[in-house]
Amino acid sequence: MLAASSAFVGTNGTMFKVNGQQLRLSGANNYYLAFAPDSMVEPVFDLAAQLGLNVLRTWAFLDSEDLTSGWTTPANGTAPVCFHYWDSVAAKPAFNDGPNGLERLDRTIALAEQYQIRLILPLVNYWKDFGGVPQYLKWFGLTSLQNFYRNTDVKQAYRDYVEHIVLRENTRTGRRYREEPAILAWELANEPRCVDDEGHPIPDGVDTLTAWVDEMSAYLKSIDPNHLVSVGDEGYFKRKLAFGNNLYNGSFGVDTERLLALPTIDFGTCHLYPQFAAEKDPVAFGTNWIREHIEAGKKANKPMIIEEYGWKAIDSDPNTSRNAAFQVWLDQVIDNGGAGALVWMIASSMPDGKLYPDYDGYTIYAAEDVPAIVAYSQSVASDA
C-alpha cells in the first residue's frame, strides 16, 4: 500500500519526486477505468502491473443529460452510470454520489493504492465524449465553445464540480480525495482548446484559455494544496516564426509555454500522434516533438510528460512497427531528461469475456506486444 500524506508526489525542478526520491513516470491511459464495472477495471490494473507501470491516467468526469442517459458498458446493457448531471427540479447541475456514480471512482482510487499505482485525473473533457464541454453548454442553453471559458454560470458549475470531487470522502478509504496519496495529479481538462464552433482560430483564443487556466488552477490549489495540478493540453506552441503550422502558431488557442509558466501549474503535458504531421516521417516527428517539449519544460524548470503517445496498429504488422517507434520515443524521454510517458491506451476484457473494442486503432491488450514499454518501465524502476 502507498504511504499516507508523506507519499504525495511533488516536483524538484524538471522531475517528479516522492519521499525524497526521483520519480519518472511510466504509464498508460484508460478512459473507462473510473466508471466501468469491477470486471472491466481490475483486469486493466493487472495489465498495468504486467507492464510495470507506476501511473494511470483516467477520467474523473462523466457528465450526463440526466440520471437516465449516462455511460453503459458495451455488450452487457447495465444501468447507466454518471457522475454529474442536470437536476431539472433544482435547475442546476447535480452530483451522483451512489453506486452508479462516484462510488465507482472511489473504487478506482482504492484499487490504485492497492496496486501501488498513482492516478492522473482530468476533471472535464473538451470533447463531447462522456459529456464534456458540450454537455456543460447544453445544460445552460449555450452553443459557442468559448462560453465554457467565459460564461459565469458555466464557470461556476465547473468550480462546483471541482470542489465536490476534491472534498469528497472516499467510501472505500475514508479519506477525502484531497488526502488520497494514490492521486498523483489533477488535470483541469482533457485536451482543452479555444477555437470557434467550426474549429477555426479566434483572435483571443490563447489569452482566453490561459486566463481560464490561471483562474481555475489557482482555485483548485486553494482547496487542495496536496496534489499537483496540470492543464492536460496537447502541447501546441505559439511561436512567432511558425506561421502556417498549426502545431506551432497558436491556432488551437493553446500556447503550452505560457500555460507552463503559470505559477499554479506544476508540470507540462503534450500528446503525440503521427497524424499531427502526416507529411513527416512519423518516428522522426515524434522524436523532435518529444525533444522540443522537454526543452520547454527545462526552460520553465518544471517536469514535462508525454502523457499520450500512440501508434495505430497495421493489420499486416500489428505490433512490430509500433514497438519500434515506441522504443525510439521512450529512449528520447530518458536521454533528454523527460519526466515520463503514458501510452494511449491499454484495455482488457468486458463482462461478456470479449476484449474491449479497439475503437481508435491504438489499443494495447498484452505486455508481450510492447516490450519497449516493459523495458522502459524497468529502466524507470531502476532509477528510483
- Digit-coded pLDDT (tens) for 16-49: 999 999 999 999 999 999 999 999 999 999 999 9
Q: Which fold has domain 5-383?
A: TIM Barrel (3.20.20)
Which residues are CB-neighbours of 199 under 8 A, at least 6 positions away?
A: none
Which residues are CB-neighbours of 248 under 8 A, at least 6 positions away?
A: 236, 237, 238, 239, 242
Interhelix angle 38-51/103-115, nearest 10 degrees = 30
Confidence of residue 313 (pLDDT cuts 50, 70, 90): confident
Prediction pTM value: 0.97
Q: What is the distance between the alpha carbons of residues 35 and 20, in angstroms, rounded to a whole number? A: 33
Confidence of residue 4 (pLDDT cuts 50, 70, 90): very low
In the chain, where are the structural domains located? Answer: 5-383
* Amino acid at site 257: E
Q: Which among 191, 234, 292, 307 is annotated as catalytic?
A: 191
Q: Is the pLDDT of residue 87 over 70?
A: yes
**pLDDT, tens only, 159-204:** 999 999 999 999 999 999 999 999 999 999 999 999 999 999 999 9
Instruction: Judge whether 113 counts as a catalytic residue.
Output: no
Q: What is the distance between the alpha carbons of residues 307 and 272, in angstroms, rounded to a whole number? A: 8
Mean pLDDT value of segment 291-304: 98
Instruction: Judge whether 368 counts as a catalytic residue.
Output: no
Mean pLDDT value of segment 323-335: 97
Mean pLDDT value of segment 48-63: 98
Mean pLDDT score of the chain: 94
